[in-house]
Structure 1
Amino acid sequence: MLSKQSANSFLSTVRYRPQRLDHLVHQTNFSKKELQVLYRGFKNECPHGVVDEETFKSIYSKFFPQGDSSMYAHFLFEAFDIHNNGSVSFEDFVVSLSIILKGSITDKLNWAFNLYDLNKDGCITREEMTNIMDSIYDMMGKYTDPCMRDNAPKEHVDNFFQKMDKNNDGVVTIEEFLDTCQKDESIMQSMHMFDNVI
């Protein structure tokens, strides 16, 4: 088993070749033309065909220059790193992107739950949600208009648990998460926000 550093060194010297696009058409909800466009963009940012966490963070930081996106990018990278090997291939990227942009509501919610469940134990704790919220507020920056209050992340976590933790056991299970989200009109509307992006 290669260490993460050895794997990153190996990745920087070997070029990764993705699966055939027609195979990815069946694996995702993208057309061949959409996959070609996505591949050109991916290859432009990641010439070796895979991206490690540091490169992912660097790319992601360009979208949020006013804040520190490194922690949220770390969580996002772990969600995209399907095989948990310290790298995201084009296939990993488009499978997740397909869920986020074109998946069913249930698929999108399951993906979001997986993102929030940092230790992948099947439930979201207050600590995990606090880490996620802190990373989002750090990413958005201190200079937003209107300015965010310092206690905003804690309030968001409190609201999340008040709404989601139906049995008040201090954790949110996938069942509680799916049930609450599917009954909440504003959450359901936000799930459709990216439906026609590509």
Structure 2
Amino acid sequence: MSRPLDLSRKQHQQLAETLCKLTKRFNKHEVQCLMKVFSTLVATFPEQRIGIGLDRTKFRNVLHTTFGMTDDMIMDRVFRAFDKDNDSYVNMKEWVEGLSIFLRGTLDEKIKFCFDVFDLNGDGFISREEMFHMLKSSLIKQPTEEDPDEGVKDLVEIALKKMDYDHDNKVSYADFEKAVKVDNLLLEAFGPCLPDSKSALAFEEQAFKKSKDD
């Protein structure tokens, strides 16, 4: 297997072992494969600063072409969820750690991930306004005589009725966690921010397949 980002063999092995311990979702071979995928993606975009990683536009391109995501607002938020250090790039460590939840996270990890995606302003709550913007963004636009905003407002009310356990007109993390554990379908209530099983499996099969270089 070719070594990513021109690391020495020893550095490559050490980084793979470190990421394997951090994620606990991938074995060492799988981590090395994800590192190789990352390096290939970065090399595909020569304008990227290799030492840093993928910027928002290139990362969104991966979400769209690999995992079939189409919602601009949600893709931006997924990028933010991966970009833990907020430097506007997803680096290799963030890539592997993010994918560990994205592809193989526990329900609790996915609840935290989705809540962070949906909490647009990072204040610890999903407000009515945030619900409205996300639902309006994710709904397929259909020509209709009715005011589309009214339909979105109705969906917001339904969401609050199902998830706002303390009746404060917003959804806290505790509300969201409780609601999702009662009904798992509410995990992506405000937009698809995780890959579907088919896309996830296809990515893993492609990324982890044995090659002559392994």
TM-score norm. by structure 2 comes to 0.67
Which residue identity is paired with 2:118? Y
Q: Give, in whole Å, the separation in 1 of the partners of 2:128 and 2:82.
A: 23
Which residue identity is paired with 2:27? S
Q: Give, in whole Å, the separation in 2 of the partners of 1:16 and 1:123.
A: 42
Identity %: 29
Native 8 Å contact 1:76 1:115 kept in 2:
yes
1:52 aligns with 2:55: yes
Structure 1 residue 128: deviation in Å?
1.4
Structure number with bigger Rg = 2
Which structure 2 residues correspond to residues 16-95 of structure 1 after superposition, within 5 A? 20-28=15-23, 29-47=25-43, 48=50, 50-62=53-65, 69-95=71-97
The verdict on how the C-alpha distance between 1:91 and 1:170 changes in structure 2, with shifts beyond 3 A counting, is same
Higher relative contact order (CA 8 A, sep 6+): 2
The verdict on how the C-alpha distance between 1:80 and 1:170 changes in structure 2, with shifts beyond 3 A counting, is same
The verdict on how the C-alpha distance between 1:103 and 1:58 changes in structure 2, with shifts beyond 3 A counting, is closer
1:48-91: per-residue Cα shift (whole Å, max 9, x none)? 250111222333343588x9643322111111111111111121
Partner of 2:212: none
Alpha-carbon RMSD: 3.3
Runs of 4+ in 1 over 6 A off after TM superposition: 15-19
- Please list every run of 5 or more consecutive structure 1 residues that lacks an aligned counterpart in the other structure: 1-14, 144-148
The verdict on how the C-alpha distance between 1:131 and 1:43 changes in structure 2, with shifts beyond 3 A counting, is farther
Q: Give, in whole Å, the separation in 2 of the partners of 1:153 and 1:96.
A: 30
Partner of 2:160: 161
Which residue identity is paired with 2:182? K
- Please list every run of 5 or more consecutive structure 2 residues that lacks an aligned counterpart in the other structure: 44-49, 188-193, 205-214
Which residue identity is paired with 1:126? R
Aligned length: 173
Structure 1 residue 136: deviation in Å?
2.6
